[in-house]
Amino acid sequence: MGLDLNLLVPLEALLQERSVSRAARRLGLSQPTVSAALARLRRHFGDELLTRMGNAYELTPLGESLAEHAVQALGSADRVFQARSAFDPARARREFSVVVSDIQLATFGRTLAALVREAAPEVRLRFQHTTSHLVMNAQEHLRVVDGMLLPQGALTNVPAIDLYEDRWVCVVSVDTVTPTPPAPEELAARPWVVPYPFLATGFAAMRQSFAHGTQPRVEMTIETFLTMPYLIAGTDRVGVVPERAASLFPADSGTAVVDWPSRTATSVESLWWHPAHARDPAHIWFRRTAAEAGRLVTADMARSA
């Protein structure tokens, strides 16, 4: 085929680091060796891949498109050579990759990490931040990660297990809090800040919660939960977040929690994986551990309620 698969590793490092010297340090190779690899890659693709802009390098359009493909290709190759007929967590040395949001990392991710550390001290976890791009291409991305945490119903024809339930709440600036909870019509009249997963899985509940078909005006959509106070404090905006996220906001964030107009707006967080992992002994162990982490998160929520 005329392909040198040994070039895949320096390709990924160069596109991620955007620097020959940083890629060399990451790979434990000399700078001339990585420079030679870059020259071969440029000849292969007929493209510069990295171009100097002042004191830094930027990716060419082709380099940008190759960056994610290189990560996925390395992930797939790594998964092939990590496969075993049995899995002993106490002796295993491998990595599990999970796509999570910031609030899921602070709650579920922390709990999962504690369980993994206790049962499998040589196993690594790699957490990747959830983005709208990853969710929109979830079917493809699930081929190169061990799982994605998304709300129940977010995907179809993909296996999943439910982990824990949370409740959507509203976040407002403390300057706008009144002794009497705001009426649904008042909340609907304000500009809203909405996390994008809510648009896909919870927006129907939003519409049903307001009388006469009133639909709040979404002013912003964001991909993180823990940054919500910075967009709400000192404004008339209304944010919508899982109750667990609101409980992690700093006490001096300048925001307050207001109940959702209807207390039925809940979300079940689920772990999704590619069907190819279904019979992998390592992945079966990982799913069981994730399920236990979900149970512990649920118990913690019950204690703090």
pTM of the model: 0.70
Pairing assessment for the beta strands 56-59 and 50-53 based on DSSP bridges: antiparallel
pLDDT for the residue 116: 97
Q: In the chain, which residue ranges form alpha helices assigned H by DSSP?
A: 8-17, 20-27, 31-45, 61-82, 102-104, 110-119, 132-136, 138-141, 184-189, 196-201, 203-209, 228-232, 243-246, 281-304
pLDDT for the residue 271: 96
The owner of tokens 């706008």 is: 176
Of 109 and 218, the structure prediction assigns the larger pLDDT to 109
pLDDT for the residue 120: 96
Residues 6+ apart with CB under 8 A from 36: none
pLDDT for the residue 269: 92
Phi and psi of 191, rounded to 5°? -75, 145
pLDDT band at 136 (very low <50, low <70, confident <90, very high): confident
pLDDT band at 1 (very low <50, low <70, confident <90, very high): very low
pLDDT for the residue 213: 56
Q: What is the pLDDT of residues 246-282, one digit of tens each?
A: 989 999 999 999 877 665 577 889 999 998 888 889 9
pLDDT for the residue 295: 96
pLDDT for the residue 81: 64
Provide mean pLDDT across the span 287-303. Answer: 92
Q: What is the pLDDT of residues 167-222, one digit of tens each?
A: 888 899 999 888 777 777 788 889 999 887 666 555 555 555 565 556 778 899 88
pLDDT for the residue 149: 94
pLDDT for the residue 107: 92
pLDDT band at 83 (very low <50, low <70, confident <90, very high): low
Q: How many CB atoms lie within 10 A of CB 167?
A: 17
